[in-house]
């Protein structure tokens, strides 16, 4: 029995707003986005430390790699190198619940969790150094070091926290179809000619800060979703189902998870109660935000 010294929760995320501005010279896309943590779906990571000089990983999902192909292992490698901790070892155990390659940032969240656990145990890195390590692992990873609603610009790594009005509840439902979509595919198939002028980020930010759900429903945007809706007809069916209950649907990040924002928790819970069994039979992961 291993003695796990640190246990952490890695939350999911969604993007209430995602606008693509231009293709950058470094091959990334300049974006404006509004990140929202989704604590209702999370992975659990446990860490133990030793002097073996070896990074080990275990996962309860056999479809995930447990070698250098996993962001957690790469995060640990980068941290130990940057902190000059040669000879130190870590064992990472991952219980996976966030849908994989589903636009909810699961791998990025796990990587950020790993960095935070290593920093908590070993220390040695400044906040800036930790953020740079996070960015080297992926554009979304810096957000998960904060796990608070944030505006994201640049690649999404330039973060400005925002504070929703006290007591604000965002009545969200999520449906993850169960097949993966890579962020690279979503950005590669972006149709620049079809991008709308509105809504704009300022409206979505105002809606979140003021807890204005009707305004937020009008302000939802994801420039990546057109290609996803065309490629995967099931997503169109999910959109129609959410709309039939009064929800305003949007693809989460680079997809294929779809979420919907409802006017109230009551309206959301009505769909939840009526559809959860049907979604389960279709092997669609259905959960509240």
DSSP 192-256: GGG--S-S-HHHHHHHHHHT-HHHHHHH-EETTHHHHHHH-HHHHHHHHHHHHTT-EEEE-TTSS
Cβ neighbours for 8, distance < 8 A, ≥ 6 positions apart: 44, 45, 46, 47, 113, 116, 117
Please identify which of the residues 13, 78, 88, 96 carries the catalytic annotation.
13
Asked if residues 104 and 143 have their Cβ atoms less than 8 Å apart, the reply is no
Burial class (CB in 10 A: 0-12, 13-18, 19+), 30: middle
The tokens for 112 are: 């950020």
26 labelled catalytic: no
Please identify which of the residues 88, 140, 223, 241 carries the catalytic annotation.
140
Asked if residues 34 and 204 have their Cβ atoms less than 8 Å apart, the reply is yes
140 labelled catalytic: yes
Strands 6-23 and 221-222: parallel
Asked if residues 20 and 31 have their Cβ atoms less than 8 Å apart, the reply is yes
Strands 29-50 and 172-176: unpaired
Query: How large is the angle between the packed helices 127-137 and 106-122, nearest 10 degrees?
Result: 150
Cβ neighbours for 265, distance < 8 A, ≥ 6 positions apart: 169, 171
- Which residues are catalytic, by number? 13, 140
């Amino acid at each position: 029995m291993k003695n796990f010294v640190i246990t952490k929760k890695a939350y999911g995320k969604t993007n209430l707003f995602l606008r693509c501005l231009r293709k950058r010279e470094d091959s990334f896309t300049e974006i404006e986005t509004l990140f929202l943590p989704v604590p209702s779906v999370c992975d659990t990571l446990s860490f133990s430390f030793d002097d073996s000089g070896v990074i080990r990983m275990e996962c309860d999902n056999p479809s995930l790699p447990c070698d250098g192909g996993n962001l957690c292992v790469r995060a640990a490698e980068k941290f130990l190198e940057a902190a000059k901790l040669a000879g130190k070892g870590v064992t990472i155990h991952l219980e996976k619940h966030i849908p994989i390659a589903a636009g909810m940032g699961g791998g990025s969240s796990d990587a950020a969790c790993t960095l935070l656990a290593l920093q908590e145990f070993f220390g040695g890195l400044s906040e800036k150094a930790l953020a740079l390590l996070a960015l080297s692992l992926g554009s979304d990873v810096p957000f998960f070091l904060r796990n608070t609603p944030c505006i994201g610009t640049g690649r999404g790594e330039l973060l400005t926290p925002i504070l929703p009005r006290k007591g604000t509840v965002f009545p969200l439902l999520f449906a993850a179809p169960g097949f993966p979509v890579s962020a690279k595919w979503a950005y590669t198939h972006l149709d620049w000619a079809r991008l709308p002028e509105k809504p704009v980020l300022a409206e979505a930010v105002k809606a979140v800060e003021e807890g204005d759900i009707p305004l937020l429903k009008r302000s939802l945007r994801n420039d990546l979703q057109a290609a996803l809706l065309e490629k995967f007809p099931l997503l169109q069916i999910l959109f129609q189902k959410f709309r039939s209950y009064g929800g305003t649907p949007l693809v989460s990040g680079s997809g294929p998870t779809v979420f919907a924002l409802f006017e109230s928790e009551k309206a959301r819970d009505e769909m939840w109660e009526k559809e959860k069994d049907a979604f389960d039979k279709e092997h669609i992961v259905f959960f509240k935000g």
